[in-house]
Amino acid sequence: MDDLNAYLLFLKDYLISRLLSAGHGFEGIKDVIVAFLIVKRGRYSSSFLNFSFLFIIAATFIAGPTIIQNSPFGQPPEAQATESTSVISYNPYQGSLETVISDKGRTGMVQYTVKGGDTVAAIAKRFGVSEDTIRWANETIKNDIIKPGEVLQIPPITGIAHKVVSGDTIYSIAKKYHVDAQNIVNYPFNDYADLDTFALTVGQYIYVPDGTIVPVPIASSQFIAPIQAGTRGPSNFIWPTSGIITQYPVWYHMALDIANPSAPPILAADTGVVIRAGWDNTGYGNMVMIDHGNGYRTLYGHMSQILVSVGQHVNQGQQIGVMGSTGRSTGTHLHFEIRSAADALLNPLNFLK
């Protein structure tokens, strides 16, 4: 045993000695190399720059196609129009995971050149809009006949792309195409000469989501949302007010707009703590946000009155305000959102069916 201990001590001293020797040798070589580079830095700087430039060019040609193929910014408009992202989320009423498809649309009008074999139906499916949307945007289409080489205007959403003329307002446009004016305001890529009055500029395009040229019965696209005094508990939301749904959740407006000219009370959809209450400059007007402590938050916008304060505990069904038309609003309604704890917008209909 003594011999083993003596051997281990010798081995330890030997290894330390060799490592120190190797370190001194490395430092000596490094000093020589550094001194050489400093002396020759002017001579080799040009070669170094040329090599770096050639390396960047080679990397661009080799890696460029792969980057473009996997980047959403490098895809053509028609590819972006049909692209969708699958997100796994939890539906508290089914008690299981479900896949929610998030369809991200385009932001403006694009031109499409008709190819051989194209039909109005096929083009509409490719761009994720209705066939009527394409017909209304292109007066040259007669009896659904299109020819190769013909250039079509494709709006970014199902509805109407309206070119503003003198005297137009968002209210007159909404009436013309049988939608609520708030639907036009909710589309985030519409521009206004004045954000406070929603003034328009002659010649600009205004997109009217779900607008129609032929009137449709109002009852076919609206839903009465009565208050349901449900049992308190996590992920057990109730309707926060009563009225008519004038805007359903879409990719650019993941919320419910519930309108009611009588300005009814706004109720807490579930028990929680108020984390925001007051005026919001981003468009919500008078708004309240409640953290329910179960991974979900709810937001209530455009209220005429706020009846709670930050830090206050509220019960499910408790009145927190009064419906109104403050902020980026065209009429008395509630903008209602459900968010995750990380502030990701969720589809409220998944919780209020």
What Cα–Cα distance (Å) separates residue 271 from each residue in 56, 179, 321? 57, 34, 15
pLDDT tens per residue across span 236-260 = 899 999 998 989 999 899 999 999 9
Q: For residue 22, what pLDDT is reported?
A: 73
CA-CA-CA-CA torsion sign (120, 125, 127, 131): positive
The radius of gyration of the chain's CA atoms, rounded to the nearest angstrom, is 31
Cβ neighbours around 340 below 10 Å, total: 13
Q: Please report, as a single letter, which amino acid is at residue 261.
A: P
Q: For residue 109, what pLDDT is reported?
A: 86
**Phi, psi (rounded to 5 degrees) for 339:** -125, 160
What Cα–Cα distance (Å) separates residue 82 from each residue in 77, 88, 101, 155, 211? 9, 19, 12, 14, 21
By C-alpha distance, which of 188, 171, 187, 189 is closest to 179? 171
DSSP string across 168-213: --HHHHHHHTTS-HHHHHHSTT---SBTTTTB--TT-EEEEET--S
**Which part of the chain has CATH 2.70.70.10?**
222-352
Q: Please report, as a single letter, which amino acid is at residue 296.
A: Y
**Which part of the chain has CATH 3.10.350.10?**
76-106+110-154, 158-216
CA atoms of 334 and 256, how far apart (whole Å): 8
265 DSSP β-pair partners:
322
CA atoms of 140 and 134, how far apart (whole Å): 11
Q: For residue 208, what pLDDT is reported?
A: 94
Output the six-digit token pair for 226.
């009565």
CA atoms of 190 and 204, how far apart (whole Å): 9
Q: For domain 76-106+110-154, which CATH number applies: 3.90.1200.10, 3.10.350.10, 3.40.50.300, 3.20.20.80?
A: 3.10.350.10
Cβ neighbours around 82 below 10 Å, total: 13
Q: Please, what CATH class does the domain formed by 222-352 belong to?
A: mainly beta
Whose structure tokens read 């137009």? 168
Low-confidence ranges of the chain (pLDDT < 50): 39-42, 69-102, 218-227, 229-234
pLDDT tens per residue across span 68-102 = 544 444 444 443 433 333 333 333 333 333 333 34
- Which superfamily does 158-216 belong to? LysM domain (3.10.350.10)
Q: What's the pTM value of the predicted model, to 2 decimals?
A: 0.62
